[in-house]
Structure 1
């Protein structure tokens, strides 16, 4: 009798546990899967798996689910879910999947497809627009991209993109080809002369961004899942090499981002889970890199174990993580911060070490800062991750010149050499519909613009001449709003489906100081 009662109780407990698991899976599907993927492998948001949550303690995860995450699109669910549901979701994302996801070189090769041979492409543009003053506008609302004439501000081509496209379009050095990377791992190449897709390949399961080498020969993809960097041939996107991202003590890491450093003939990658920066040399005659040694290589010291082959990886070890970063104009320094850090840091790539701390409690976004000249000094300016502040920092002393108070945390700051103004958005909070225009000569806000009250206004980009500033209204019934950069008056408005970003060909290929690189 007692055994029977225990059996019934055990079955009841198992049934209750199964019901709870089903309920939690349903909660995840309803509230999380759209951004993080049905199987937790990532989409617009990162993968939610134990191996990708190493720096996020469960207590912190509870708070993120409850209140959201600053300077991201992660909303809080405190008004939608109760305490038990939030706790169940936190437990759920820390459970390993039934099968460990993998994406090997064989998988990458199998996904590769050439859709338009280069030999079939025209020698000259099949349109009359200035090929260097085109914009790629990423419309996340319905997963499309619009190619826009930057003189007449007329759409020339609109095509469907891969799901969860990352905003940052990259271009070949001559501006002819465009490369796009999606959060679910796809890399796509497009011809801007004929408006054709050239090739595609899936480089990973959950990808952060891509970079094109300064010489135009290579594309590198930075992955969250698996923990790899993937090198592709830029001509047809055929895979060349995968690089496992592992520290010298065997810990693997997601890649926060990868960018090209043209004067150095290298890619620079920031790592999410280990405090290191990696430099991958893509020149024909790379410098030997000592295996496991983190300082610079010196000619004549080749006695140890060195990599003499192509694409050697040089590892720079830091004391703190570097999630978000940008370069100075010489590409000698990397400036950045951990998203949960208390200060920023400056890393000299030649010396292979940190040279300064800066008064910056976290950067809000990769490439959120800009550089410009202020009273004869090169300065950087960037919004903060939390709080309504833009910091202006002298790039010789690395001291803060001024903190400009804004209406809230910004996500992007942009300018152009041919305008005296810098524009910064207010990405979160009650004033998310506002943008501030700052005079670079006085470091004062001269105007606050609200393109569409009640919606989010973000991501300013200039045309190639710096004559017009384009602003995104991040809404399904959103718009691309064009302003005269001199008078600050609206000149045109194009309806669009949540245009999260727009990228001018000329500004990107010339590495204009006022835009992201």
Structure 2
């Protein structure tokens, strides 16, 4: 009588089916693998009062997760790695936190100063730089490990011969692996070359007390706003040997200024159709300057002191938010007619606006309403809201592929 191989084979097949089915059931239950997704339509919303950030999906208008333990986020900003997976969060307490958007977790965190005001990531994505108030200066870190690479204390000598360490503001990345920033007390603009290990610094005299700055989308012009005088300081990074030029020097001279409740943010400057739309400090105006010669071409009356003046990605609209006490509205300006086409009410204490990459929607945070309202930029009607705890900054991963953001 020969051996019967059929019975063992049937048993093995039965066991395989049982374990296979049980495995399928496990994947479909609570222990299922996390959803696979790209990062292109993700972003972070800062919850300033709770030291947390929301990971959001812009296509779905929904919260994917919350990451806690990021310290003081009362004045926080975010930049992204080249692959848009990691967000680097700059906190007011000097914290630099690397957040994984896919796992919704903290990868690493360092406290690099006593008080910081923002940062930037280099053109090649290798370095993250942080701008500091206390003790001042700029520190540069390896984006992979958060190890310190360069320490730039921003020392200067005052008019009476005393040395000091300046607050640094307006830190941006620029082509050629440059970082550019302004020194508040020193009244200077510096460039830091991170294209090699030398970390060379170039210094330029600027106006009195630069408080914030931006770089134009093509990476050519670095423009610093001045707290100590009317006008702006411009550095042409294509021709830095020409030094700093003063532009719009007389836009406020001889006029009655209002108390300044909140300094404008220059990062979101609107540049459209060859014109720069600029928030006027201490005035209920948006200024227009011709980018060919930076001459003042128009003043657009608005309902309050502008904080953010931002162009939609197609440059057809200029969106304006305001300082207290007029900070419950946003006004939309047509960039061609220069007329206000709509006044919106997204909620109490509007703090930030962010356009989706192709501009079909804009997300607006309202801190005291604990919500973010999403508007269709064509109809100017709200399409959704997202709940958040005291939301402030909104940062989409499309920033990973833009200069100066």
- What is the TM-score with the length of structure 2 in the denominator? 0.83
- Counterpart residue number, 1:239: 148
Change (3 A) 1:143 1:196: closer
Counterpart check, 1:490 vs 2:378: no
Counterpart CA distance in 2 for 1:267 and 1:360 is: 29
- Counterpart residue number, 2:47: 139
Post-superposition Cα deviations, 1:450-491, rounded to whole Å, max 9, x if no partner, equal: 123xx222322111221111111121x421001111100111
Q: Which runs of 5+ in 1 are unaligned?
A: 1-124, 285-308
- Counterpart residue number, 2:267: 367
Aligned length: 356
- Counterpart residue number, 1:437: 332
Counterpart check, 1:481 vs 2:377: no
Q: Which runs of 5+ in 2 are unaligned?
A: 1-32, 253-259
Counterpart CA distance in 1 for 2:270 and 2:195 is: 27
- Counterpart residue number, 1:75: none
Q: Helix, strand or coil for the counterpart of 2:336?
A: coil
Q: Helix, strand or coil for the counterpart of 1:247?
A: strand
Please state which structure has a larger fraction of its residues in strand.
2
Shift, 1:439, TM fit: 0.9
Counterpart CA distance in 2 for 1:246 and 1:168 is: 25
- Counterpart residue number, 1:184: 93
Counterpart check, 1:279 vs 2:172: no
Counterpart check, 1:149 vs 2:60: no
Mapped contact 1:126–1:193 kept (Cα < 8 A): no
Among 427, 432, 449, the residue aligned to 2:344? 449
- Counterpart residue number, 1:341: 229
186-195 or 415-424, larger mean C-alpha shift: 415-424
Q: Helix, strand or coil for the counterpart of 1:179?
A: strand
Change (3 A) 1:267 1:137: same
Shift, 1:339, TM fit: 2.1
- Counterpart residue number, 2:169: 256
Counterpart check, 1:357 vs 2:247: yes
Shift, 1:366, TM fit: 4.1
Shift, 1:347, TM fit: 2.1
Change (3 A) 1:240 1:345: closer
Post-superposition Cα deviations, 1:36-77, rounded to whole Å, max 9, x if no partner, equal: xxxxxxxxxxxxxxxxxxxxxxxxxxxxxxxxxxxxxxxxxx
Change (3 A) 1:482 1:319: closer
Shift, 1:445, TM fit: 0.7
Mapped contact 1:190–1:199 kept (Cα < 8 A): yes
- Counterpart residue number, 1:221: 130
Shift, 1:152, TM fit: 0.7
- What is the TM-score with the length of structure 1 in the denominator? 0.65
Counterpart CA distance in 1 for 2:76 and 2:376 is: 24
Please tell me whether Structure 1 or Structure 2 has the larger radius of gyration of its CA atoms. Answer: 2
Mapped contact 1:130–1:149 kept (Cα < 8 A): no
Mapped contact 2:318–2:335 kept (Cα < 8 A): yes
Q: Helix, strand or coil for the counterpart of 2:109?
A: strand
Among 394, 397, 401, the residue aligned to 1:510? 401
- Counterpart residue number, 1:385: 281
Q: Helix, strand or coil for the counterpart of 1:423?
A: strand
Counterpart check, 1:409 vs 2:344: no
Please state which structure has a larger fraction of its residues in helix.
1
Counterpart CA distance in 2 for 1:141 and 1:201 is: 20
Counterpart check, 1:461 vs 2:383: no
Among 387, 391, 400, the residue aligned to 1:499? 391
Aligned counterparts, 1:4-19, within 5 A? none
Q: Helix, strand or coil for the counterpart of 1:451?
A: coil
Counterpart CA distance in 2 for 1:154 and 1:510 is: 23
Post-superposition Cα deviations, 1:359-382, rounded to whole Å, max 9, x if no partner, equal: 555961241412122xxxx22112
Shift, 1:319, TM fit: 4.4
Mapped contact 2:226–2:233 kept (Cα < 8 A): no
Q: Helix, strand or coil for the counterpart of 1:509?
A: helix
